[in-house]
Amino acid sequence: MSEPALKHVIQFPVNSDSNKVGVKRLTVLIASLNDSHATRLLNVFSKDFNVVRSISGEQTLGIILRDQVDLALIDTSLTDMSAIYICRQIKKSQLSSNTDVVITSQKASRIDHDAALMAGAINCFLHKISPKAIHSRISDHLALVAEKKKLEVRCCVDGLTGLTNKMQFNTVLNKEWHSAMRGEYPIAIVMVDIDNFKLFNDRFGHLEGDNCLIKVANAIDSSKRREEDLTARFGGEEFVMLLPFTDQEGACKVANKILDNVRNLNISHSEDSAISIVTVSAGVASCNPSYTETESFSAQDLLARADMNLYLAKDRGRNRCV
């Protein structure tokens, strides 16, 4: 059986008409070799949650470390790793420690309840307990998880533009960096800055400046190619876009699309013909984290390289990407 696809279900920002950060449904992972048991769980949990299934411990850990999983139902039918060992590995990693774990088993003799709780599981259930009963017993806990997600999202949002803020961007960047290292795929960053924005504020005032920031933020975010791409306000009039699975050429195409989308806003800037409308400059950097020039090259180094290229674009006349 091939590995089931699982997209990022908590995404900053969520791709929506309002272009605001939001919370999607929680995700439940069902890890079981027992087809009938897995199907019964899936039928119940899929009504309220995004559900994905795995059939081995290795596959389970791969999905959880790569994606946003809120609850893992791990069955003792898995043969390559014990459910308790998987639970310990989930709780040990910073990338997955917030994932709640429930251990299930067909036989009581295969569950060590105390050991499971010590490993970090929130509960254990036998197959004879119906999936509806399991759902009911943990629904209050999952409701609290959902509320926590809402609070976390509010802390991750830029109050003016509705985009992801700098702190959350750095968190996602580090996670995507490690995912790209494991998956051996390229990752790119595009840094964007509004040209001569201080002059715009001086001429039109800060209220119009805020309106300009909102319009530019929407134009940048609309330049994304896929849901996994992430747009953030990095501070002031500076924005940043994270592009997984993207090489330098692909990132430059996105950067040029950003420049076009902002120009097409046709926001009046100055009577000076050289800066008649609002434009942006962009700096692009891409690499494959598995094949960097030095072992110490990090996600922050990639960010710094994009920032350096942004200032090169400014020095070369603005309204361009480097």
- Identify the helix (H) or strand (E) that includes residue 314: helix 299-315
Angle at 197 between CA 191 and CA 200, to 5 degrees: 155
Structure tokens at 154: 């509010």
Q: Looking at 184, 228, 237, 238, which residue is catalytic? A: 237
Catalytic: 237? Answer: yes
Q: Nearest-CA neighbor of 256 among 235, 236, 279, 278? A: 279
Longest dimension (CA), the chain: 80
Distance, in Å, from the CA atom of 86 to the CA atom of 115, rounded to the nearest integer, reads 12
Give the distance from CA 72 to its chain's centroid: 19
Give the distance from CA 150 to its chain's centroid: 15
Please report the DSSP string for 114-166 in residue order: HHHHHHT-SEEEETTS-HHHHHHHHHHHHHHHHHHHHHHHHHTB-TTT-SB-H
168 torsion bin: left (phi>0), alpha (psi -120 to 50), beta (else): alpha
Please report the DSSP string for 157-201 in residue order: B-TTT-SB-HHHHHHHHHHHHHHHHHHT--EEEEEEEETTHHHHH
CA R_g for the chain: 23
Catalytic residues: 237
